[in-house]
Amino acid sequence: MLKLLLLLLWTWSSFALVRVPLKQVRSIRTQLRAAGALEDFLKEHHPAAFNRRYARCFPPGTMSLRLGRSSERIYNYMDTEYFGEIRLGTPGQNFSVVLDTGSADLWVPSTYCVSETCAVHHRFRAFDSSTFHHDGRQFGIHYGSGHLLGVTARDTLEIGGMTILNQEFGESVYEPGSSFLLAKFDGVLGLAYPRLAEILGNPVFDNLMVQEIVEEPVFSFYISSSADGSSRGGELLLGGTDESLYVEPINWLPVTDKGYWQIKMDSVSVQGVNSLCPHGCPAIIDTGTSLIAAPTNETVALHHLIGATPTNIGEFVIDCARLSSLPHVTFVLGGQEYTLSAQQYVRKDVFNGREFCFSGFQANDIMTPEGPLWILGDVFLRQYYSIFDRGQDRVGLARVRQPAEQ
C-alpha cells in the first residue's frame, strides 16, 4: 500500500497545470506619445522591419514580401502591455518576459550586453548559476520594432513554479537603438512552433511536453481588459484550460501552417456587410501583437468605414464622442462570428487633460501562399479566451466570461 501511495503521489506531481500571471502596464507607444518622442521613433524605424518577423515561418521562395505602407509604424510587441515572470539559473534570477505566441525563442539580456538598453533591465549573470551550460553559438532576431544579437546557452528555467532542466535560451549582448529602452519587460518567451526558432533546441513549451511537466500539450491565454473593471492583467495556463474564465462552447480551428498559430479566416464584415476578406484569408493568433493588423488596402477601407482620420504621425484617430454610433466589426472564423464593438477596438489615451481615441487596427502587407495575412492581436484576444493545442494542432476560441458571470 505504501508503494502504491508513493506511486500515485509521484504520478500526480509529475503532471500539473502551470499558472503564469500576466501583468498589465502602459504600452511603450503610450509612453513615447506622452513623452513627445513618438514621432521621432516612428521616423527611426522603417516599416519593412515588421515583415522580417513573419518572413521566418515560410521557406525561401514560397512568399514575396512587399514593403508595407503602414498607417502605424510601431509594430509587434513594441506595443505589448502584458508580460509574465520567470526565473533562470541556480539560484534563480528573475526576469519579466513577453509571453508571445508569435515567436519561438526565449531570450533575456546578458550581463555582458554592451547596449544602453540593457543597463535599465535585469541582466543574466551566467557566473552566478551553478547549472549554466555555455553554448556560444551566435543568433540574431529581428522584430518589427527592433533587433538584437546574442549567444546561446542552457540553464534551469522556472515558470509558474515548475522547473525545466537544460532549457535553451539566448543571452542578448547587443540591442541597438531605443526599441527596448522604455520596455517594462526584459526579454521574450516564444510559444509558437519550433520552426520559427532562431535558437537551436527545444522551445520552452516543447520542453514542458518532453519533460512531462504539463498534463496536456495545451496552453491557454486569458487577457483582461481594463474596461471590464478587472484588476487582473491576465493569465497564461500551461497544460490545459480554466473553465471559470470562458463561456462554452469552444470553437476549434485547425492550424493551417505549423510555424505561427495560423488559421483560416472566413471573412470580415463591418456592420454586417462582408466587405473585407470576402473569399477567406490566412490569419494568425498572436499574443505578442497589441493591435489587429491587416493588408493596407483593407485597413484603409476599414478606417474609412469606421470614420477614422489619419494623423501626421501615422496613426488613425476617431472622435471619442462618436463611439456609441460607430459600426461593429465582425470576424468570421470556422463559421462562427466574433464581433467587436467600437468600445473594444478603439484605444483611449489622455494627454494634458484631453482624451484621444485611436484605432485598434494597423496596416501591414505580408503575402503568404494562402493570400494576404491578418494578425489577430490583443485587441481581439481581450474579448476571447484562446487555447493553443499542440497535440491536435488546433486553436480554440471562446467568449471571455465577464466579471458579472463569474
105 a catalytic residue: no
Strands 162-174 and 106-109: parallel
Cell of 22: 500576466
Q: How far apart are CA 139 and CA 129, in angstroms?
A: 22
266 a catalytic residue: no
Other C-beta atoms lying within 10 Å of the C-beta of residue 388: 22
Other C-beta atoms lying within 10 Å of the C-beta of residue 379: 23
Q: Is 346 exposed, middle or buried (0-12, 13-18, 19+ CB in 10 A)?
A: buried
Selected catalytic residue, list 79, 100, 155, 365: 100
Cell of 197: 526558432
Element (H, E) at 360: none
Q: Which residues are CB-contacts of 159 (< 8 A; sequence separation ≥ 6)? A: 18, 20, 84, 86, 87, 189, 204, 238
Q: How far apart are CA 272 and CA 383, in angstroms?
A: 19
Selected catalytic residue, list 186, 206, 286, 365: 286
Burial 9-25 (b: 16+ CB within 10 A, else e): eeeeeeebbbbbebebb
H helical segments located in 347-405? 378-381
Q: How far apart are CA 144 and CA 122, in angstroms?
A: 22
Q: How far apart are CA 108 and CA 396, in angstroms?
A: 30
Active-site annotation, residues? 100, 286
